[in-house]
């Protein structure tokens, strides 16, 4: 008998050679029907593979990331089977799972292939899936493997086999298709119920431009048709919400090749929105005891030699800026932290002065390859809502709690109500990788865990994910489409205080090193605005909208009344505009809807005579007529966050 330890810690005894599928069956038939593979001692195995010794076993289903990727990789085999059936003589490269789905690189020879044939392949895959063919694993000798693919004439598989040691090679067969693969796979093709081929492109064999270009076909599969429909819907919705598209339509930001790739230009409306975010954060930070500082966009190379950034990132960064004489060298600021360390050092600090909190909307520049740039989410210059807190070790927990409050306040004001926090700690097996004493690490780690717990954050703890210089807490936000974004990070740092020799005088009159905490609730304003646009589909919360109202005069006669209203609202810090165009009112309303302006104020004869406005709300329609005072009160109530 062997002992099988399950994830809940329970131990069950089975005969040697038991499979994960049989273990699942011994627990429940329902579970067994859903098992796709199993993690045996940390390695993903076929559910049909016999287990010969005491092991820990985790059964994997569609709900596990590793179960899903096994499913999608198995789907790549199914697609290959369909391609071989439809286009005999097709040769195959590699077919891995990716984050959403799978691809296979194939060589169709001289055959022309277009995405119009996707439907035919999808149908074939479904037809083959229905046969519920098992994925059968078979170890083969290198000689036999070479013989098989020589006969088949697949030079790509032969190229792969060349690098594999004899004794390690396995084939997998489902239906009529045999592939070179080390596995694992799902039990049978019957789990695959819905298929969609997404796109195709070219891919050089082994990523080598001097070799043949194969056709890469991307696909995705699901155990239920409804899940595929949901997925397709989300993709369409994501396209509609793409911040690059909406940023243009709403005139928020632009890029110019002349200015330089990856350097966003904020247009007036985008700037208005961004300024509101800045003001919001500044107000909250002042309340939380931060002090605002400003530092230059460049820094002497020596600053970054001291901080260690030059050694670590120098080669892959924008190269130094040289002065005409003197031979000085400056770097574009890649981060604000070293500057803030120097601000800390401008005067002696005592334990009573701590914590000090320096905040700056600091613009930093980081080199990204042009191919990596993407809208506002990957840029070469961006502004962080940065702050550095310098505190005593015993203050870390309190400071974390305060930062958590600030982050949650921010999320609340912006409508992100679905989030989790990840606490990244040291790898306990490998403590020598990290700088700072065991004692300070233990203190900071427990402080972070307790702070998160006391604030009631839904938390996951990841060991080994800390930076070498300190543990951290990251917020993962789920947007309206269920996509996850990392926003907001709080990071302890033992490294920079050491490198910059930061000190404070303790109650014992001795010199001590402060703990430094980096934090940025938005992360970068650019990326944050991108996420926000996609989250709210451009319908910003009223307090953030660059234009909160638009006044639509029914004719030229009411323009003076419109101007008077607009001035009155502006006096109350409510901004908007007037549509002076000589257009029909219906047209004006439609255009305002497209621009997603939250309130439309229609003024005509009746309104002007009674001193009122007819209010329409974006997405909600007619709200009737009210006095300007009533409207003002409503807006003020709505924008008070």
Nearest approach in angstroms of CB 387 to Zn ion is 8
Phi, psi of 634 (to 5 degrees): -60, -45
Closer of 333 and 518 to Zn ion (Cβ):
518
Best CA proximity match to 476, nearest among 418, 432, 534: 418
Q: Interface mask (CB under 5 A) for Zn ion, residues 172-201, using x and -? A: ---------x--------------------
Best CA proximity match to 614, nearest among 604, 633, 601: 601
Closer of 196 and 518 to Zn ion (Cβ):
518
Nearest approach in angstroms of CB 222 to Zn ion is 19
Is beta strand 2-5 parallel, antiparallel or unpaired with respect to 55-60? parallel
Task: State how far the Cα of 351 lies from the Cα of 505, in Å rounded to an integer.
Answer: 6
Phi, psi of 511 (to 5 degrees): -85, 135
Nearest approach in angstroms of CB 381 to Zn ion is 17
Nearest approach in angstroms of CB 430 to Zn ion is 25
Nearest approach in angstroms of CB 60 to Zn ion is 15
Residues 255-284 touching Zn ion, rule: CB under 5 A, are none
**DSSP-assigned letters across all residues of 617-630:** ETTTEEEEEEEHHH
Residues 422-481 touching Zn ion, rule: CB under 5 A, are none
Say if residues 117 and 124 touch (Cβ distance below 8 Å). Answer: no
What residues form DSSP beta bridges with 504? 512
Judged by CB under 5 A, the stretch of 206-214, 318-326, 330-338, 573-581 that binds Zn ion is 330-338
Q: What share of the chain is helix, strand, coil (3-state, %, to 5)?
A: 40, 30, 35
| Catalytic residue set | 337, 366, 384, 386, 388, 472, 518
Residue numbers in the known binding site are 337, 388, 518
Instruction: Specify the DSSP element, H or E, that contains 12.
Output: strand 11-14
Closer of 360 and 547 to Zn ion (Cβ):
360
Say if residues 487 and 523 touch (Cβ distance below 8 Å). Answer: yes
Judged by CB under 5 A, the stretch of 35-43, 144-152, 511-519, 562-570 that binds Zn ion is 511-519
Q: Of these, 68, 137, 513, 518, which contacts Zn ion (CB under 5 A)?
A: 518
Closer of 337 and 615 to Zn ion (Cβ):
337
Q: Could you say whether residue 337 binds Zn ion (CB under 5 A)?
A: yes
Closer of 397 and 518 to Zn ion (Cβ):
518
Phi, psi of 101 (to 5 degrees): 110, -140
Instruction: Assign 589 to helix, strand or coil.
Output: helix
Sheet (strand 43-45) strand order: 11-14, 2-5, 55-60, 37-40, 43-45
Is beta strand 599-603 parallel, antiparallel or unpaired with respect to 612-617? antiparallel
Nearest approach in angstroms of CB 135 to Zn ion is 8
Task: State how far the Cα of 519 lies from the Cα of 474, in Å rounded to an integer.
Answer: 10
Closer of 172 and 205 to Zn ion (Cβ):
172
Instruction: Assign 33 to helix, strand or coil.
Output: helix
Q: Number of residues in contact with Zn ion, rule: CB under 5 A?
A: 3
**Taking every pair of C-alpha atoms in the chain, what is the biggest distance, in angstroms?**
95
Residue numbers in the known binding site for Zn(2+) are 337, 388, 518
Is beta strand 177-180 parallel, antiparallel or unpaired with respect to 291-292? unpaired
Nearest approach in angstroms of CB 333 to Zn ion is 11
Q: Interface mask (CB under 5 A) for Zn ion, residues 53-92, using x and -? A: ----------------------------------------
Best CA proximity match to 637, nearest among 544, 543, 570: 543
Closer of 337 and 451 to Zn ion (Cβ):
337
Residues at the site binding Zn ion, with contacts judged by CB under 5 A? 181, 337, 518
């Amino acid at each position: 008998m062997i002992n099988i330890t399950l994830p809940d810690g329970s131990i069950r005894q089975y005969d040697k050679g038991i499979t994960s599928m049989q273990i699942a069956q011994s627990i429940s038939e329902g579970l067994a029907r859903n098992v796709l593979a199993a993690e045996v001692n940390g390695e993903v195995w076929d559910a049909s593979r016999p287990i010969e010794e005491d092991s820990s076993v985790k059964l994997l289903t569609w709900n596990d990331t590793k179960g899903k990727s096994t499913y999608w990789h198995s789907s790549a085999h199914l697609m290959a089977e369909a391609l071989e059936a439809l286009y005999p003589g097709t040769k195959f490269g590699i077919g891995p799972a990716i984050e959403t789905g799978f691809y296979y690189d194939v060589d169709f020879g001289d055959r022309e292939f277009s995405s119009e044939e996707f439907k035919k392949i999808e149908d074939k895959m479904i037809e083959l899936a229905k046969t519920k063919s098992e994925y059968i694993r078979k170890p083969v000798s290198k000689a036999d493997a070479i013989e098989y693919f020589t006969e088949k004439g697949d030079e790509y598989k032969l190229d792969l086999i060349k690098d594999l040691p004899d004794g390690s090679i396995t084939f997998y067969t489902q239906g009529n298709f045999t592939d070179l693969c080390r596995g694992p796979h799902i039990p049978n093709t019957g789990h695959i119920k819905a298929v969609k081929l997404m796109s195709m492109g070219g891919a050089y064999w082994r990523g080598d431009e001097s070799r043949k270009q194969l056709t890469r076909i991307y696909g995705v599969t699901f155990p239920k048709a409804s899940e595929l429909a949901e997925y397709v819907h989300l993709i369409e919705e994501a396209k509609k919400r793409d911040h690059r598209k909406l940023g243009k339509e709403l005139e928020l930001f632009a890029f110019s090749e002349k200015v330089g790739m990856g350097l966003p230009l904020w247009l007036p409306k985008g700037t208005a929105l961004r300024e509101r975010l800045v003001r919001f954060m500044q107000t909250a930070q002042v309340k939380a005891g931060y002090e605002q500082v400003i530092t230059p966009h460049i820094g002497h190379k020596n600053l970054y030699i001291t901080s260690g950034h030059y050694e670590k990132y120098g080669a892959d960064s924008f190269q130094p800026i040289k002065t005409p004489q003197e031979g000085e060298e400056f770097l574009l600021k890649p981060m604000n932290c070293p500057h803030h360390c120097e601000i800390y050092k401008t005067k002696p600090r005592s334990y009573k002065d701590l914590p000090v909190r320096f905040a700056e909307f600091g613009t930093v520049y980081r080199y990204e390859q042009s191919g990596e740039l993407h809208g506002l989410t990957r840029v070469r210059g961006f502004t962080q809502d940065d702050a550095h807190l310098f505190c005593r070790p015993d203050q870390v927990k309190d400071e974390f709690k305060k930062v958590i409050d600030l982050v949650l306040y921010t999320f609340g004001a912006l409508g992100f109500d679905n989030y989790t926090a990840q606490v990244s700690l040291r790898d306990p097996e490998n403590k020598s990788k990290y700088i700072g004493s065991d004692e300070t690490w233990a203190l900071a780690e427990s402080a972070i865990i307790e702070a998160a717990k006391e604030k009631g954050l839904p938390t996951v703890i990841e060991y080994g994910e800390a930076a070498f210089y300190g543990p951290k807490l990251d917020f993962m936000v789920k947007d309206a489409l269920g996509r996850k974004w990392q926003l907001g990070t709080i990071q302890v740092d033992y490294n920079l205080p050491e490198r910059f020799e930061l000190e404070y005088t303790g109650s014992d009159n001795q010199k001590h090193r402060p703990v430094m905490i980096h934090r940025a609730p938005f992360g970068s304003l650019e990326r944050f605005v991108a996420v926000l646009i996609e989250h709210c589909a451009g319908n910003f919360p009223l307090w953030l909208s660059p234009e909160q109202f638009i006044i639509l005069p029914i004719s030229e006669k009411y323009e003076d009344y419109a101007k008077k209203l607009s001035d009155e609202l502006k006096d109350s810090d409510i901004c908007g505009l007037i549509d002076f165009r000589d257009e029909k009112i219906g047209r004006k309303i439609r255009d305002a809807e497209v621009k997603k302006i939250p309130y439309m104020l229609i003024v005509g004869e009746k309104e002007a005579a009674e001193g009122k406005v007819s209010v329409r709300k974006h997405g909600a329609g007619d709200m009737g007529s009210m006095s300007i005072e009533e409207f003002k009160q409503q807006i003020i109530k709505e924008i008070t966050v």
